[in-house]
Amino acid sequence: MKKTALVAATTLVLSMSLAMPAHAGIYDDMLVAIKRASAPDVISILNRGLDPNLVDREGYTLLMLAVRDGDAEIVDILLAAKANPNARNAHGDTPLRLAAYRGSLPMVEKLVKARALINTPGWTPTIYAAFNGHEPVVSYLLDNGAVIDAQADNGFTALIAAARGGHEAVVELLLKKGANPNLKSDAGETAMDFALRSNNTTIYDRLLAAGARSGTAIDNQEATPPRKDGEATNAPAAK
């Protein structure tokens, strides 16, 4: 019995070894180099023949990891080595989405110049940037062809995402650029609904001036009820 178990275990180990890619060791070296932000090591490993488009179990490419870590030099090196700027991980994220979410304008600019897609299916880089209030990134993406009213998988637009997060500068920018204030999410909510829910009078007033209505008001063909002064405020409480 023990001999049979030993043979089975040995067979399993051998099969696992054969299944492991020949570049496993060098790939691990690259992960360490990226983590340590060691550009010389990254170059050296690439020169040893590592494919710059290898992915981990969640589909993250080396370029995505470098973008996530905010290392511009290593991003430049990987792009020069033909890393794919439009690869998608298991979550549907691209390098540009990750850069937009972080709010790194220099990184976003690098990727766009490398032909990263600005208008991706689902959650676009612009919606990601708006969600976190990164106004310079939103502005840059719009100036470079982003579809302003693109909707994510849940119906969110950049304007809805910005209103939800209370990002007044982004809301102002999007409205000035012509964003539709009355598009609804899959839950039937507009940007106005989030302004009302958060009691953000600045965003409420700006949306109202742009003709925005709540989702319920649109469904019932009614006007959005006016806010009540003193009850809805985004100003800090008096101390």
Assign domain 23-93 one CATH number from 1.25.40.20, 1.20.58.760, 1.10.1740.10, 1.10.1660.10. Answer: 1.25.40.20
Long-range CB contact pairs, 157-161, < 8 A, 24+: 157/127, 157/183, 157/191, 158/124, 158/126, 158/127, 158/129, 158/130, 159/130, 159/183, 159/191, 160/185, 160/189, 160/190, 160/191, 160/194, 161/127, 161/130, 161/131
pTM of the full structure: 0.82
| Domain 23-93 shares a fold with domain 118-239 | yes
Query: Whose CA is closest to 184, among 161, 211, 215, 158?
Result: 215
Does the domain spanning 118-239 belong to CATH 3.90.650.10?
A: no
Domain boundaries of the chain, sorted by first residue: 23-93, 118-239
Per-residue pLDDT of the chain (239 residues; tens, 9 = 90+): 444 443 343 333 333 333 334 456 899 999 999 999 999 999 999 999 999 999 999 999 999 999 999 999 999 999 999 999 999 999 999 999 999 999 999 999 999 999 999 999 999 999 999 999 999 999 999 999 999 999 999 999 999 999 999 999 999 999 999 999 999 999 999 999 999 998 899 999 999 999 999 887 677 776 665 665 544 333 223 23
